[in-house]
Homo-oligomer: A and B are copies of this chain.
Amino acid sequence: MSRSIRLAVIPGDGIGPEVVAQGLRVLTAVLPSDVKLETREYDLGARRWHATGETLPDAELESLKEHDAILLGAVGDPSVPSGVLERGLLLKLRFAFDHHVNLRPSRLYPGTAGPLAGRPDIDFVVVREGTEGPYTGNGGSLRTGTPAEVATEVSVNTAYGVERVVRDAYARAQARPRKKLTLVHKDNVLVYAGRLWKSVFERVGREFPEVTTDYLHVDAATIFLVTQPERFDVIVTDNLFGDILTDLAAAVSGGIGTAASGNINPDGTFPSMFEPVHGSAPDIAGTGTADPTATVLSVALLLRHLGYEREAARVEDAVAADLAGRAGAAARSTEETGSALVNLVS
């Protein structure tokens, strides 16, 4: 049997190309020899925008569709006005490819530093809605720039959108040993959106009688993430709360250097996109010191999404072994970490 993966690669800005290079090395090393990996690189991000003014031309969007998955490094640079690349590239991809399941696992690997280091019981996954909420761009401003300005942002939530991500989260909880799902929202203040999320959460829950459920306000959830992270198994939440909680989750587990994410279109109509949670880190770009671990773990999510479960597990085991061995060792270069992981998966 001959299989193939058509992978679109968006290295992006800053440390993006550096970490993506290592992610691809590990991917190549772990794939069975009969799997043909075809990659195509896309020059998108700050450099391209400065050169041409383009963020994501239609032709490229179309061409990206011809792939099985997308691997993205990081996008963004202080020289580009805030929002241009986020709305014009990153969010455009998430919305155009209907990446409604934004998957962000948090695991505290033995050996990692950080405020909660040494607690092996942190192992949860945030299922963040990816195509609705305050991310829809439904805002505006009136009398802009005057003392009478009014600026609004509208969070849009649909039963359709909430139900599909909630059901996905239940299914993930069901497949995990602890089978626990926590809904995070702020339904005591955001009463309309909150009512919708909570009622869908309860209704869909009837299809998953084995899953234990829980509800937390987003403010309380941040406290528990720091003080009792072991209480979480799967969390489902809206786009903005998910954005905030997953950065916090990264901080309290292995750090932002190990936080992976998948922007998933579960039905496969469009390619899913995998990227580290961290940004382009222009301050350390070019120094060869960025940690490629988050990208490598994103490659694991990519492999699992494409059905290569065994290879995904091998990559994750390699990362665990590598992190465990790192404790106390001298700082390594991006390339050295990549090589260590390549060796471990080969």
Contacts and interface: CB of A to CB of B under 8 A. Distances in A.
A222 B199 CA distance: 29
A152 B193 CA distance: 6
Nearest to A247: B219
A287 interface: no
Contact of A190 (B115, B153, B247): B153
Q: Which of A156, A193, A199 lies at the interface centre, i.e. has the most chain B CB atoms within 10 A of its CB?
A: A193
Contacts of A51: none
Contact of A83 (B137, B191, B199, B223): B191
Given A192-B139, A240-B186, A227 B115 contact: yes
A33 interface: no
A313 interface: no
Q: Which of A137, A188, A255 lies at the interface centre, i.e. has the most chain B CB atoms within 10 A of its CB?
A: A188
A248 B248 contact: yes
Q: Which of A146, A151, A158, A240 lies at the interface centre, i.e. has the most chain B CB atoms within 10 A of its CB?
A: A151
A160 B134 CA distance: 23
Contact of A189 (B83, B144, B157): B83
Contacts of A189: 83, 86-87, 91, 134-135, 240, 243
Contacts of A149: 158-159, 196
Interface string A137-176: 1011101111111111111111110010000000000000
A195 interface: yes
Contacts of A186: 240, 243
Contacts of A196: 141, 144, 149, 151
Interface string A181-207: 000001111111111100100000000
Contacts of A144: 195-196
16 contacts: A86-B189, A139-B193, A148-B160, A151-B158, A151-B193, A151-B195, A152-B155, A152-B193, A153-B155, A155-B155, A186-B243, A189-B240, A189-B243, A219-B244, A244-B244, A248-B248
Top 4 A-B pairs, shortest CB-CB distance = A219-B247, A139-B192, A149-B159, A222-B248
